[in-house]
Amino acid sequence: MSKVNSKKLKGFTLLELLLVIAIVAVLAGIVMIGLKPAEKLSIATSTKYLQNANDIEKALNTYMVDNSGNVPTSLSILTYGYYDICKTTASGCVSLTDLVPKYLPALPIDTTNATTDITGFKIRYDPTRKEAVVFSNAELP
């Protein structure tokens, strides 16, 4: 009688390996879609700038309420238009230092668009309606 080699080969089949690779790829894709770190950072940053612009606008409105509807001196001489907001009293921009520290602890700075004199925020002022809208330069197209 001949002896038959009944030794079994040990290891994974090709089908098992492909199945494991597919499962790992699907899980990696789900994790990458769930994280989206760049998008989340962008959303957080733009939300911060929008909140800072809203803070300036609320402080300006509170100032007007407290001062019988009068705007800060730097706005009272302006015509309708868009103006940069200064960090101090630099020329060529609007100084809202009247709001600090009573209405704002400090003027917020948009670090992506600020210069040595400019906060990086703009104000659209309409003197006939005494209406001011503040927005970040990052919001501009």
85 in Cβ contact with 134 (< 8 Å) = yes
Rg (CA), the chain: 30
Q: Report the alpha-carbon distance of residue 121 to residue 123 in Å, rounded.
A: 7
The residue with tokens 């790992």 is: 24
Model confidence, pTM: 0.63
Give pLDDT, residue 2: 53
The predicted-structure confidence for 77-89, as pLDDT tens digits, reads as follows: 778 888 888 887 7
Say if strands 131-136 and 94-95 run parallel, antiparallel, or are unpaired. Answer: unpaired
Per-domain boundaries in the chain = 38-139
The predicted-structure confidence for 31-65, as pLDDT tens digits, reads as follows: 877 777 766 666 666 778 888 888 888 888 888 88
Greater pLDDT, 47 or 9: 47
Strand order in the sheet with 81-86: 94-95, 81-86, 118-126, 131-136
